Amino acid sequence: MYFDSFDSAWWPFLFILLAGALPTAVWRWIGVLLVGNLDDSSQWLVLVRCVATALVAAVIAQLIFEPSGALATFPFYLRISAALFGFAAFLMFGRRLFVGIISAEIALLGGYALL
Amino acid sequence: MSQQDQSGSSSVYDWSWFAKGLAQLFSLPALILVSAFIGFGGLAREAGITLWQLVFMVPTIWALPSHLILVAGIAAGVPMLAIIPAVALAAIRMMPMTMALIPEIRMPQSKTWHLLAVSNMIAISAWMHTLQKAPEIPRAGRLPFFAGFAGVLMMSTTLAAGLVHQLAASFPVYVMAALYFLTPIYFATSSWNTSRVAAERLALILGFCLGPLFFMVVPQANILFAGLVGGFAAFGFYKFVRRGGAS
């Protein structure tokens, strides 16, 4: 079945629910059911947090290494060096988020202007 | 009194924190997520998604990687049965994310259906921000805070994406690139600050390095593999250090 399989007003919305919303939400529900009565101080939660953090980190890498849209037109070395520059500034200046974000953006746009 | 505790489950939570969550509309994570959805609104329009389809999919799916896969699949005419596993694979991270958040926000009296309902609002930004704020919030206020914050994020991002679509707003390429670049830098710095033990910071570094490495080997499942390998390795490090410290 395709997005344009049925020429009706409701089909695209059902398609969005079945192909997009359901396969995403199911993992949240499984998470709720699995965490069940797990003790809040359980060692398992440290493992779960480590895996969740590593997954988010892999998403971050994906957004820099294989971006979609306009960012993909910027050269790879500019993206990665601007990201590392921003993160280094974040670590050096009191771990403030806006320091990291503004430094990374200045490096990205500065590098783009110089190219 | 005890009767009220059993039946009036809404009294378990401190709903004054819901408003405080809503007020986080004016926060850095909200600004960044809205920027990301400005980009998505334009992308969806170019892919032929109508305004109402866009407005419908932003809050119902509520996970930007899933949005991107669905829209790319629709634009390329991919059948539903091929889109579902791709979306499901990209969304597996929701399971450990949910498992990490729920113990922070639930009350002993929380019903499973409360948690199932609120879990539908879990996505990286609201999840990360709530984990970071949780220690400052009394337990009874955490679920309302999360619901308020995630709710206001849903509304503002839907509005932003819809407006960009409706106005067919277009921006110079460097503006769009700068908007897209906000998200990874925000996620990286914020999760560094959210981490409570060194093992989580190690997991962040490992996941970041392993993601692109696994992309070369298993491009469809690189995030999953990087998350599992990086997460387990960081946890192994945590256990090793604790054992060493104890002796």
Give pLDDT, residue A69: 80
pLDDT tens for residues B153-190?
A: 999 999 999 999 999 877 899 998 999 899 999 999 99
Could you tell me which chain A residue has the CA closest to the CA of B106? A40
pLDDT tens for residues B82-116?
A: 999 999 998 999 999 999 999 999 999 999 999 99
pLDDT tens for residues A42-60?
A: 888 999 999 999 999 999 9
- C-alpha closest to that of B141 among B41, B240, B16, B44: B16
Does B208 sit within 8 Å of A52, measured CB to CB?
no
SS3 at position A115? coil
Q: Complex ipTM, two decimals?
A: 0.91
Q: Hey, of A32, A39, A48, A66, which one would you mutate to test binding to chain B, going by the most B CBs within 10 A of its CB? A: A32
Are B218 and B68 a contacting pair, CB within 8 Å?
no
Q: Per-residue confidence at A31, pLDDT binned at 50, 70, 90? A: very high
Give pLDDT, residue B227: 95
Classify residue B108 by its DSSP letter: T
**pTM for this predicted structure:** 0.89
pLDDT tens for residues B185-201?
A: 999 999 999 898 899 99
Question: Which residues in chain A have Cβ-Cβ distances shorter than 8 Å to B229?
Answer: 54
Q: Is the pLDDT of residue B216 over 80?
A: yes
CA-to-CA separations, B170 to A70, A91, B40, B41, B183, in angstroms, rounded: 12, 35, 12, 10, 19
Give pLDDT, residue B110: 92
For residues B141-176, one letter each, b for 16 or more C-beta atoms within 10 angstroms of the residue's C-beta and e for the rest, the string is: bbbbbbbbbbbbbbebbbebbbebbeeeeeeeebeb
Report how far residue B202's alpha carbon sits from residue A82's, in angstroms, rounded to the nearest whole number. 21
Are B60 and A21 a contacting pair, CB within 8 Å?
yes
Q: Does B228 reach chain A within 8 Å, measured CB to CB? A: yes
Are A28 and B206 a contacting pair, CB within 8 Å?
no
pLDDT, greater one: B246 or B213: B213
What average pLDDT does range A72-93 have in this prediction? Answer: 97
